[in-house]
Amino acid sequence: MSIDVNNESGWELDEQAVLDIARYAIQHMRIHPLSELSIIAVDADAMEQLHIQWMDEPGPTDVMSFPMDELRPGKDDEEPPQGLLGDIVLCPEVAKKQGDAAATKHTMDEELQLLTVHGVLHLLGYDHEEADEKAEMFGLQKAILDGWRAEHGLTGPSPAPTTSH
């Protein structure tokens, strides 16, 4: 699986954890191991520009996803789909604020892990506009985060969803 992580944010972040959880999420969703994903971390100004350009909303957001081949999760009885998943753009500065403000405070890196999974699910067509969509997407997000955390020997609950978009 080809996953590129590029940190242009000016913030120190655990790029290996972002890479690992993205890989775990993609495998969990049964996407072909030869698929490609790009993850970039940007500063708040760059994220605000993207947020205005693509969503027509002011201010920086935490994560944005830009799908390419519109891949969907694979089924158990078929060959997993392969192609370009797309791009996930993360903003560590917003992630830090959200982690600090969460009811159960968590680190910026934990928030970025959550946002990476959130971004992967958006690339695979999941959304959270309607209550049923939100329940499905956030349920998958929690299952992926919990599975990855357990596999890495991390204790305690995974961060609760705090996405601002």
Residue 80 near residue 124 (C-beta atoms within 8 A): no
CATH code, 133: 3.40.390.30
Say if residue 161's pLDDT is above 70: no
Asked if residue 126 belongs to a domain, the reply is yes
Residues 59-83 pLDDT 10s:
999 999 999 988 888 777 788 778 8
Rg (CA), the chain: 15
Question: Range of 29's domain?
Answer: 2-151
pLDDT of residue 74: 77
Asked if residue 31 belongs to a domain, the reply is yes
Say if residue 90's pLDDT is above 60: yes
d(C-alpha 114, C-alpha 150), whole Å: 14
pLDDT of residue 73: 83
Asked if residue 67 belongs to a domain, the reply is yes
Number of domains in the chain: 1
pLDDT of residue 105: 83
Asked if residue 162 belongs to a domain, the reply is no
pLDDT of residue 63: 97
E-assigned strand segments in the chain: 2-7, 36-41, 63-67, 84-90
Say if residue 142's pLDDT is above 90: yes
Residues 13-72 pLDDT 10s:
999 999 999 999 999 999 988 899 999 999 999 999 999 999 999 999 999 999 998 888
Strands 63-67 and 36-41: unpaired
Asked if residue 139 belongs to a domain, the reply is yes
Asked if residue 89 belongs to a domain, the reply is yes
Asked if residue 82 belongs to a domain, the reply is yes
